[in-house]
Amino acid sequence: KTGSKIKMVFTEKQEALVKESWEILKEISQKIACVSSPLLEIAPAAKGMFSFLRDSDGIPQNNPKLKAHAVKVFKMTCESAIQLREKGKVTVADTTLKYLGSVHLKNGVLDPHFEVVKEALLRAIKEAVGEKWRDMNCTWVEAYDQLAAAIKAEMKEEA
Ligand code: HEM
């Protein structure tokens, strides 16, 4: 499932930047909230997918569960970036992938939503890391893309 990905080797500088930005983001946890509201601004349809948001009015600015999802996505993307560096590809454990495939399928998540989450995630990282962004943006993009591709492939298999 994850075998057909482009092999990509990161420099140690890039890996260090990824780890460093993880630290930065842990500290500035408030920034992570930025991931969730742009998501709902860009794609109001995504709101209906989150059971805990369905009945709320407008765009929730600081929903803790949505924030928790953003943190999970960020953490997994971070791990993926490190795997890319170490193994040249993203490998998600089979059980995790199966679980994530079914959760997202069940909630009606579609391919275009992954692009929306990607945009929101990258925007938040960019905001948090400032000028370092230029040196590492392709690392994040590649890591997210491979992770999302693995989940999407699993969703298609289960559908
Ligand atoms: C749940 C990861 C993309 C919507 C989850 C969970 C994880 C996760 C770890 C929690 C499962 C649990 O703890 O029970 C990811 C990753 C993504 C991604 C790594 C991208 C690479 C998306 C996208 C959407 C989405 C694009 C749609 C906008 C949801 C929903 C849930 C969920 C609706 C269930 C939340 C709930 O109702 O409790 N995701 N996700 N995810 N995700 Fe994602």
How does pLDDT run across 129-138, given as a tens digit for each residue? Answer: 778 788 777 8
Would you say residue 62 has pLDDT above 70? no
C-alpha to C-alpha distance for 80 and 77, rounded to whole angstroms: 5
Residue 103 lies in a domain: yes
Question: What CATH number is associated with residue 113?
Answer: 1.10.490.10
Ligand 1 centre from 12 Cα, in Å? 30
Question: Which protein residue has the closest C-alpha to ligand 1 atom 40?
Answer: 73
Would you say residue 107 has pLDDT above 60? yes
Q: Is the CB of 110 under 6 A from ligand 1?
A: no
Residue 110 lies in a domain: yes
Residue 1 lies in a domain: no
Q: Which domain holds residue 45?
A: 12-158
Q: pLDDT averaged over the chain?
A: 77
Identify the weakest region by mean pLDDT among 37-46, 47-56, 139-148: 37-46
Would you say residue 36 has pLDDT above 60? no
Residue 46 lies in a domain: yes
Residue 27 lies in a domain: yes
Rg (CA), the chain: 15
Entry pTM = 0.79
How far the first Cα of the chain sits from its last, in Å, is 15
Residue 47 lies in a domain: yes
Residue 48 lies in a domain: yes
Residue 7 lies in a domain: no
Q: What is the CB neighbour count within 10 angstroms for residue 158?
A: 12
Query: What is the pLDDT confidence band of residue 1, given thresholds at 50, 70 and 90?
Result: very low
Q: Which ipTM was obtained for this model? A: 0.96
Total count of domains within the chain: 1
Q: Is the CB of 118 under 6 A from ligand 1?
A: no
